[in-house]
Amino acid sequence: MKGWHVAIIIALIGIIGLFYAGLGRDPRSIPSVLVGKEAPPFSGPDVQTGENLSLSSYKGKVVVLNFWASWCQECRLEHQALLSINGQFRSHPDFVMLGIDYQDQPGDAIAFLSSFGSTYPHVRDIKGTIAIDYGVYGVPETFVIDRQGIIRFKYVGPIMGPVYSQMTEQIIRPLLEGREPQRS
């Protein structure tokens, strides 16, 4: 009987410890096994032109890859921030921004881009295979790939506020300047 009490107390202490350890973490910061690994190659039709786009075309560049869909409310929230990131860095010859339209109807995706604006290409992920290769849980999710084709950053959720600042100033800018991104 006394052994059960000790086991319950130890289990409760463990649960409280795990809960306490998780309080200080960003719930959207989901570690990815792909960070630090080579970005999976992909190709697909451009949402607006139908022209085939592939990641290999941008070898040697810093690539921001954003998975989105027209039916995603958080994608609507972050879209202006993504346009701002592209506006901030697109004059740099080694910067590329790509959208990956995930599980969407072509007409809905085109209407979304017409309504909210588009200053960078978007690839249709017709069968969801690009999302599977990147381990996408849901949209929006954003990856930053360095010049060597290695994934250096992943974020689940809208790129806004402190995440926007972190991504632009601690990840993208250092990579474009040939420095290591800052870890926070």
* pLDDT at residue 26 in the model: 54
Q: For residue 180, what pLDDT is reported?
A: 96
**Degrees to nearest 5, angle at CA 44 with 41 and 47:** 135
- In the predicted model, residues of the chain with pLDDT beneath 70 are 1, 14-31, 184
pTM: 0.84
Q: What is the pLDDT of residue 22?
A: 53
CA distance 29 to 70: 23
Q: For residue 25, what pLDDT is reported?
A: 53
- What is the structure's pLDDT at 27? 55
